[in-house]
Amino acid sequence: MNKPKKFIETKEYKRFAEFCDACIKYKYIGICYGLPGVGKTLSSRYYSNWDYIEKQIAYKRADDIGIHADSRILNSRTLFYTAPAVKATKMTSDITLLGSKFGVVKTSYKAKFLNQEVKYSMDWAEGIDLVIVDEIDRLKMQNLEQLRDMYDRNDIAMILIGMPGIEKRLARYPQLYSRIGFAHEFDKLSKDETHHILQYKWEELGFSIKMEDFSDYEAISSIIRITGGNFRLIQRLFSQIERILEINQLDTITTEVVEAARDSLVIGIK
């Protein structure tokens, strides 16, 4: 049975957080790119505390606004948005709506729980320092122009996240590209860090497997070799390992078990 997963602050995440902080400081547009599964989206949601914020702004009735909020809402100043696969023309209104709801929850929290006199702002970007837009590979030129216009009209920083090569594609749009201050490549885990996570961050991965369950170091090395430092593949591979152990009523993770788990994966392994 898998345990709840915790976010692991890897070296790559810390580099990403520094990149976000720099974009905020200088109010630049930044580009972040990396291969699928290395942790771009998870890191963005964790940096912005979006799992928490998303629940606060999902209210449907006025009485529900900020009802579950706590002091964390006041310290949250980053908005996370995933570019839609279709109907990207609504992107500006979607981001504006998210920002407006964000502001309403903050204001309501101050009024309800801090007993402060408040005034609701019509500016969706008030109290927001950074907008992170994920999956920008989906967007066409006119959609990117929407983001540029949004950046120009508001005193905010913006980070665009996509696949490798997006930085070259954006270079073809000089009006947008001239506003880009930083670029960051989100890299996969190194072998040493992968081994460190497997050895010391076991429970945070959300799996019940322990280091003593491995038959030898070769089995651990096989996991490092197969996953190549890709966080998503590590999690998927462990899910298959647990499944194989349970089905076959095994107590020990051997190289053969790891190889069988790899063969059970549909995609992502070469």
The residues spanned by each domain of the chain are 11-185, 191-264
Identify the architecture of domain 11-185 in CATH: 3-Layer(aba) Sandwich (3.40)
Average pLDDT score over residue span 157-176: 94
Tokens of 221: 């090395």
Asked if the model's pLDDT at residue 270 lies above 50, the reply is no
For residues 239 and 229, is the Cβ–Cβ distance under 8 A? no
* pLDDT value of residue 115: 82
Residues 6 or more apart from 65 whose CB is under 8 A from it? 59, 104, 105, 108
* pLDDT value of residue 215: 80
* pLDDT value of residue 7: 87
Sheet holding 180-185, edge to edge: 78-82, 130-134, 157-162, 29-33, 180-185
Please state the pTM of the whole predicted model. Answer: 0.89
CB atoms within 10 A of CB 4: 7
User: What's the pLDDT tens digit per position in 41-100?
Assistant: 999 999 999 999 999 999 888 888 888 899 999 999 999 999 998 878 889 999 999 999
Banded model confidence at residue 202, pLDDT cuts 50, 70, 90 = low
Identify the architecture of domain 191-264 in CATH: Orthogonal Bundle (1.10)
Same fold, 11-185 and 191-264: no
